[in-house]
Amino acid sequence: MLKMDIPQLVTSQLLNLGSRISNKNLLHIVEALERYSAIRWHEQGFSAVKEMIREDHPGIQAVRRAIRNSNPRVRSKLINNFVLGGLLQGYRKRLEFYEEHGVAPPGTLMISPSMRCNLNCYGCCTGTHEKSSGLTRQETEDLISQAAQAGTNVVCFLGGEPLMIPWLLDVIEAYPRTGFQIYTNGLLLDEPKIERLARFGNALVTINFDGSEEENDRRKGQGTFKRALAAMQDLHDAGVIVGFSTMLSRYNFDSVYSDAFIDTMIEHGAVYGWVSIAIPQGKACTMPDLVPTPEQKAQIADKVKQIRREKDILLIDFHNDAYITEGCGAGRIIVHVNSNGDVEPCILFPFALDNIRNKPLSEIMKSDFLKGIRGISTSHPGRGQTCMLVNQPAEVLEVIDRTGARTTSEGTLEMLKDLAAAERAHE
């Protein structure tokens, strides 16, 4: 396989030019890159980008803003690690892995080295995970190396609070060709950490907010909103690409989609936003404490469309954007390794059969459990399939029972049985 690494100076100059050229010339650049599409998903993505350019979509302005404000090192890593390594070259390597092993590796590997956190937010999906266990640095690096060999070049660090791990940034530095995302509450992002992240260039930082300052501080604690916002601004000023994430609940629903909140995120440097929806998570998030009402869920698509039309930010809607990945990506596009080494289909899907301390990741991907989960996804493709744990609970429970998978979060199995019983009652 051809390995191409574009020098930092070249990528920085090209991307800086791209942030200033006309839409017509930008369209020519995208059309040239489109020739390297390897699969239908690439083609769909390029088609969507071209349409956004023709419309002068605010999302294109968000990309221009990201390029214009990022430092040269970040620009270089954006192309080499995420676009080439994560998508184009990465796909070809994953295809080679598939042809050898008979199973495709995930496009993104999620790792939670620890479930410990400096906050205690009600409803957090990791709220009832084991806090005393943790991955070692060696185990984490072995995982990243295994993933890279398979063509998985994008790694997300979650938790818990990943920045509580003293060696986390050392690992990011040790893998300069990997693209990382750090999901953090932002409270531990001090000047030395930000300086290192700016110097490495290979990590995007996603800071979690719960909507407005009032909503955020009610759940996370007084003053957390302003501290996280200051960290976002400092990252932006250092040339690091930064975004926000939020768990949409029935309480912060109006706040998250408000002009005031979105504008605040943009003003402090956010280029993208990940909006996931609160789902039942055993004893961590029970129904109907946080889960949005059916009436609220019905409004999400229109609210997201309006923001995308009016705001220069890339907003990802986990409730309605499943069509982009042709259904739920759990166990297929993503897998999650928790702090005990258990391999779960997704961080929001706390069930596992295998552990990285007993098997290599390539063997775990072949397990009957993950095969069964992928089978549910492929049998429910398209726009209607978001989280299979919520939408196909009976099928998920059948796979768990048949393969002997176990829950990794207290109360989740009981919750799944209740959802499956409710689904069968409505058949």
Give pLDDT tens digits for 104-142.
899 899 999 999 999 988 778 776 777 788 999 999 999
**What is the pairing mode between strands 351-352 and 343-344?**
unpaired
For residue 9, is pLDDT > 60?
Answer: no
Two tokens, residue 288: 């109907």
Residue 55 contacts residue 27 (beta carbons within 8 Å) = no
Q: What is the pTM of this model?
A: 0.91
What does the alpha-carbon distance between residue 371 and residue 149 come to, in Å, rounded to a whole number?
Answer: 21
Which residue is associated with the tokens 């398979």?
A: 150
Lowest mean pLDDT among 1-10, 25-34, 335-344: 1-10
pLDDT recorded at residue 252: 95
Mean pLDDT of the chain: 88
* Rg of the chain over all Cα atoms, to the nearest angstrom: 21
Which among 157, 9, 174, 182 has a CA at the least distance from the CA of 80?
9
What does the alpha-carbon distance between residue 175 and residue 403 come to, in Å, rounded to a whole number?
Answer: 35
**What is the pairing mode between strands 108-111 and 270-277?**
unpaired
Give pLDDT tens digits for 292-325.
888 999 999 999 999 999 999 999 998 788 777 7
Comparison of pLDDT for 400 and 384, the residue scoring more: 400
Two tokens, residue 189: 């992002």
Give the pLDDT band (50/70/90) at residue 405.
very high
How distant, in Å, are the alpha carbons of 41, 135, 258 from that of 317?
Answer: 18, 31, 15
